[in-house]
């Protein structure tokens, strides 16, 4: 950038900062406005230094080629505007024979070869049994916001294309394409998407999302010490146990709105691995991609293997801003189009009300009640097909059960449509019950080894989707279903993990490719189905939140985060979820009490918890009394008024559910005209007053009209300045147990 351009930009920035301090422009907007500096390309190659500078939002990412021709990470952090600051890249100094320079140099994509002993990005057996991969820079190509760097193994038999993309708000993606450039088979044993390197320091902390069935995405944070911490799935799908997201703060500890946070997430719905490794030299690297456990992927000459995108970003404004960057990135670049631009409809789902006992009259009765309270999409869950009266039978036979639906699904769908809703249906296409026509016809279609047990989980087996015939069967069944019925939405479930992962018809050397092939074929089925039915929307569900990741979210509008619908438990699940994923994708149902915890929260509380994402209802509406129907109608109407703000706005986590008896979230609309505060009291303690809640993300000088929806704040004024709301705060008057408030603020201009 030329010096005069910089001066102009600095002046502009200073003016903007002034506006920020006056509350006329938010800090977030400032970061966003910093994006397009006139004439500055998002990716620049500095020839003299052999360095690439990738800039977006408030972040820069710099990599270069060192004197050994290795590709080396140079910098990742707050934006550095001046290209002349970068000079020729040097590898790390030689320490001793035990830790040579190759072992301490922060390579972008290290192979397992030469004197390298840390987590590699690529491990392979090359022609002639050579197990040594040493990658050197060969060429590069810049196209707008995309950079491709070609690396070659020193033996010439393997080429790796590293793909980078920098998005306008500074989120980056990395992936690789590994190509066999030899004339013999090459077997890939570990294929990572890439490694992120942080400066050597003590004091880093790792945040990640851990849990189990019924308790997914619990936010966890712990100090990083020397050694490796691995979060992963070996289960074939993303998993309910760990989610492929990380955040690292430090060396000084970050908070919700301050401090350095590097964060990232994998776009892959199969077995994955993220290794966070602090070396004895205090360097920190985060390597992620396919799980290398039971991994082996042979490539014939000329064949290649692509790794999934590993997205990441940086902010110096804490975990809150890290999430907001991720949310915006997902809304603008990840979620499928064109539905990404539309509000999520209010949904009803039958599962908790009727279980497997679905039939035409019962579902029609529920649909009538759902329409009455303002539901826009009616979804019939499990139980409608084959011999499906319980989890014991029917999976694989995707035809309506003739006793439950004697005239097919049409009469029910017609009823639902005449009530002004669209219709959605539950499916679990990758699975089969051994008691099904499909399994009786094709017992060879499941993952299994000859002469070994076929372990059932939830009475089901995993179809071997790696087989082309199985994939085509799955696609054809879904296509028929959607073509013959007016289905707007599929809830695509997956209720068990992979076991005995054999592919009996494939040569042994190919069998381990199922970990990659199954997922790619699952993606392919969705992509082709959606291409044939462009209006079809999909929810990703896997016994709750077992398939929530940025791979599936490029293909499905929403996910089901957990089978646990207890509203109080849900606060913690949603809190963790919001660190990685936008609330728009988070389906959340209001269900009946006592909940699965035997807890009975009031209906308003249950609604307000669910309204912090994409609102759904799963209660048995036919049992609701008129008062409950009236509360629900009021809450659904409120949700429709604020859903643009919740689904598309900026989320501020004001008080975490883990930190005390009060929790609160605030959402500010994209245009700053509406803000919504949700507050939840867990349990009153005698004499303890709830603290004031300080809002964020408002304009200090603007005035807001308060619509106190549940009358649960102490203040009686009708309007407030942004300065008051953020600095003095609002005083909740919540009492007893499970009390909740929603406060809607409309900006007066
Ligand atoms: C598991 C899902 O998470 C539930 O919501 C429900 O769809 C059941 N499967 C149906 O079998």
Mean predicted confidence (pLDDT) in 630-642: 97
- Domains assigned to the chain: 1-40 (no CATH), 41-334 (2.70.98.60), 337-643 (3.20.20.70), 655-748 (2.60.40.1180)
Helix intervals (H) in 287-436: 318-329, 351-354, 360-372, 410-418
Question: DSSP per residue over 291-316, as a string?
Answer: --TT--EEE-TT-EEEPPPEEEEEES
Say how many Å lie between the CA of residue 541 and the centre of ligand 1.
8
- Of 701, 748, 709, which Cα lies nearest the Cα of 732? 709
Residue 544 alpha carbon, nearest atom of ligand 1: 3
Q: Answer whether 493 contacts ligand 1 (Cβ < 6 A).
A: yes
- 257-310 per-position pLDDT tens digit: 999 999 999 999 999 999 999 998 899 999 999 999 999 999 999 999 999 999
How high is the pLDDT of residue 96? 84
Most ligand 1 atoms within 8 A of CB, residue of 215, 459, 492, 495 to mutate: 495
Alpha carbon 712 to chain centroid distance? Answer: 33
Structure tokens at 436: 């099904």
Over residues 141-148, mean pLDDT: 98
pLDDT above 90 coverage of the chain, percent: 91
Shortest-distance atom of ligand 1 to CA 541: 3
pLDDT band at 690 (very low <50, low <70, confident <90, very high): confident
Residue 344 above 80 pLDDT? yes
pLDDT digits (tens, 9 = 90+) for 473-511: 999 999 999 999 999 999 999 999 999 999 999 999 999
Answer yes or no: is the C-beta of 566 below 6 A from any ligand 1 atom. Answer: no
**Residue 544 Cβ contacting ligand 1 at under 6 Å:** yes
Angle (CA) 488 490 496, round 5°: 180
What is the distance of C-alpha 39 from the center of its chain?
Answer: 33
Over residues 437-447, the mean pLDDT reads 98
∠ Cα 448 453 458 (to 5°): 85
Question: Looking at the annotation, which residues are catalytic?
Answer: 493, 563
Q: Which residue owns the Cα nearest ligand 1 atom 2?
A: 543
What confidence tens digit (pLDDT) does each residue in 310-331 have? 999 999 999 999 999 999 999 9
pLDDT over 60 (residue 35): no
Atom of ligand 1 nearest to the CA of 563: 3
The confidence score (pLDDT) of residue 182 equals 97
Percent of the chain's residues with pLDDT above 70: 94
HEC-encoded secondary structure of 102-117? HHHCCECCCECCCCCC
Mean pLDDT confidence for 10-38 = 41
Task: Report the separation in Å between the CA atom of 596 and the middle of ligand 1, taken as the mean of its atom positions.
Answer: 14
The answer to whether the CB of 123 falls within 8 A of the CB of 134 is: no
Q: Is 563 in the pocket of ligand 1 (CB under 6 A)?
A: yes
Average pLDDT, the chain: 94
Q: Tell how far the Cα of 461 is from the centroid of ligand 1, in angstroms.
A: 16
| 381 ligand 1 Cβ < 6 A | yes
Q: Which residues contact 686 (CB under 8 A, 6 or more apart)?
A: none
Say if ligand 1 is within 6 A of residue 384 CB: no
d(CA 558, CA 377): 14
Ligand 1 near 383 CB (within 6 A): no
Nearest CA to ligand 1 atom 5: 563
Substitution site in 214, 216, 382 for ligand 1 pocket (most atoms within 8 Å of beta carbon): 382
> Whole-model pTM?
0.94
| 28 has pLDDT over 70 | no
394: left (phi over 0), alpha (psi -120 to 50) or beta: left
Which residues, at least 6 apart from 71, have a Cβ–Cβ distance to it below 8 Å? 63, 64, 65, 107, 108, 109, 135, 137, 149, 151, 162
Q: Which of 361, 230, 378, 362 is nearest to 292 (CA)?
A: 230
Residue 445 pLDDT class (50, 70, 90 cuts): very high
Quick one: pLDDT band at residue 635, thresholds 50, 70, 90? very high
pLDDT for the residue 39: 56
User: Mind listing the pLDDT tens digit for each residue in 648-678?
Assistant: 999 999 999 987 789 999 999 999 999 999 9
Higher pLDDT pick, 544 / 99 = 544
Residue 8 pLDDT > 50: no
User: For position 21, what pLDDT does the model report?
Assistant: 38
Helix axes 626-648, 603-610, angle to 10 degrees: 20
Q: Indicate the range of 39-48, 339-348, 410-419, 562-571 predicted with least confidence.
A: 39-48
pLDDT, residue 486, reads: 98
pLDDT at 689: 81
Cβ–Cβ < 8 Å for 182, 158: yes
Distance 543 CA to ligand 1 centre (A): 6
Instruction: Return the pLDDT at 7.
Output: 33
Q: What is the pLDDT of residue 40?
A: 84
Tell me which residue has its CA closest to atom 11 in ligand 1.
382
CB-ligand 1 contact for 561 (6 Å cutoff):
no
Q: What is the pLDDT of residue 506?
A: 97
* 149 contacts 175 by C-beta, under 8 angstroms: no
Flag whether pLDDT at 524 surpasses 70: yes
Omega before 594 cis (within 30°)?
yes
Residue 575: CB within 6 Å of ligand 1? no
Q: Is 86 helix (H, G, I), strand (E, B) or coil?
A: coil
Closest to 459 measured CA to CA, from 506, 503, 394, 398:
394
- Counting atoms of ligand 1 from 1, which one is nearest the CA of 560? 3
- Atom 10 in ligand 1: residue holding the nearest Cα: 382
């Amino acid at each position: 950038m030329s010096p005069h351009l910089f001066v102009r930009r600095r002046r502009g920035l200073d003016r903007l900062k002034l506006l920020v301090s006056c509350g006329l422009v938010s800090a977030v907007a400032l970061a966003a406005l910093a994006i397009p500096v006139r004439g500055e390309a998002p990716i620049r190659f500095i020839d003299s230094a052999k360095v690439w500078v990738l800039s977006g939002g408030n972040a820069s990412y710099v990599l270069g080629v060192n004197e050994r021709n290795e590709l080396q990470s140079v910098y990742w952090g707050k934006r550095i505007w001046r290209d002349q600051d970068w000079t020729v890249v040097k590898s790390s100094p030689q320490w001793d024979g035990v830790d040579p320079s190759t072992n301490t140099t922060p390579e972008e994509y290290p192979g397992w070869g030469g004197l390298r002993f840390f987590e590699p990005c690529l491990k392979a057996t090359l022609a002639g049994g050579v197990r040594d991969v040493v990658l050197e820079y060969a060429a590069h190509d810049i196209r707008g916001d995309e950079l491709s760097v070609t690396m070659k193994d020193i033996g010439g038999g393997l080429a790796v294309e590293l793909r980078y993309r920098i998005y306008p708000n500074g989120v980056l993606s990395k992936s690789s394409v590994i190509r066999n450039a030899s004339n013999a088979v090459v077997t890939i044993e570990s294929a990572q998407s890439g490694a992120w390197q942080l400066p050597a320091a003590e004091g880093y902390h790792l945040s990640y999302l851990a849990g189990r069935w019924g308790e997914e995405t619990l936010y966890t944070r712990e100090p990083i010490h020397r050694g490796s911490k691995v979060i992963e799935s070996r289960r074939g799908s993303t998993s309910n146990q760990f989610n492929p997201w990380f955040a690292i703060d430090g060396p000084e500890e970050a908070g919700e709105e301050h401090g350095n946070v590097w964060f990232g997430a994998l776009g892959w719905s199969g077995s994955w691995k993220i290794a966070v490794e602090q070396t004895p030299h205090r360097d920190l690297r985060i390597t992620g991609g396919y799980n290398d456990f039971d991994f082996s992927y042979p490539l014939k000459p000329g064949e290649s293997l692509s790794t999934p995108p590993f997205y990441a970003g940086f902010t110096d404004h804490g975990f809150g801003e890290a999430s907001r960057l991720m949310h915006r990135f997902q809304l603008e670049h990840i979620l499928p189009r064109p539905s990404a631009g539309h509000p999520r409809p209010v949904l009803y789902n039958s599962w908790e009300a009727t279980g497997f006992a679905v039939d035409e009259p019962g579902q029609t009765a529920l649909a009538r009640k759902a329409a009455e309270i303002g539901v826009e999409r009616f979804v019939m869950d499990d139980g409608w097909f084959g011999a499906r009266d319980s989890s014991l039978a029917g999976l694989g036979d995707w035809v309506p059960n003739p006793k439950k639906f004697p005239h097919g699904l049409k009469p029910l769908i017609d009823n639902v449509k005449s009530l002004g809703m669209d219709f959605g249906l539950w499916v679990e296409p990758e699975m089969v019950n051994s008691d099904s026509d499909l399994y009786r016809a094709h017992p060879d279609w499941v993952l299994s080894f000859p002469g070994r047990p076929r372990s059932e989980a939830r009475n089901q087996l995993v179809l071997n989707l790696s087989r082309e015939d199985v994939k085509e069967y799955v696609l054809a069944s879904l296509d028929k279903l959607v073509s013959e019925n007016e289905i707007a939405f599929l809830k695509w479930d997956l209720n068990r993990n992979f076991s005995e992962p054999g592919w009996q018809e494939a040569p042994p050397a190919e069998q381990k490719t199922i970990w990659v092939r199954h997922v790619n074929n699952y993606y392919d089925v969705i992509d082709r189905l959606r291409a044939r039915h462009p209006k079809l929307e999909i929810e990703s569900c896997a016994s709750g939140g077992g398939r929530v990741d940025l791979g599936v979210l490029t293909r499905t509008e929403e996910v089901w985060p957990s089978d646990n619908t207890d509203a109080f438990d849900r606060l913690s699940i949603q809190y963790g979820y919001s660190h990685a994923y936008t609330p728009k994708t988070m389906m959340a149902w209001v269900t009946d009490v006592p909940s699965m915890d035997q807890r009975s929260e009031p209906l308003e509380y249950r609604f307000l918890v669910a309204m912090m994402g994409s609102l759904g209802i799963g209660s048995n509406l036919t049992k609701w009394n008129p008062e409950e129907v009236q509360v629900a109608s009021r809450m659904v109407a409120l949700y429709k008024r604020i859903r643009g703000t919740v689904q598309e706005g900026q989320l501020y986590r004001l008080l975490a559910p883990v930190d005390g008896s009060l929790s609160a979230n605030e959402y500010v609309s994209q245009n700053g005209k509406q803000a919504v505060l949700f507050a939840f009291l867990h349990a009153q303690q005698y004499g303890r007053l709830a603290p004031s809640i300080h809002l964020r993300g408002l304009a200090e000088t603007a005035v807001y009209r308060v619509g106190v929806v549940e009358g649960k704040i102490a203040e009686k004024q009708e309007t407030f300045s942004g300065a008051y709301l953020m600095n003095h705060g609002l005083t909740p008057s919540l009492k007893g147990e499970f009390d909740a408030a929603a406060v809607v603020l409309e900006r007066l201009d």
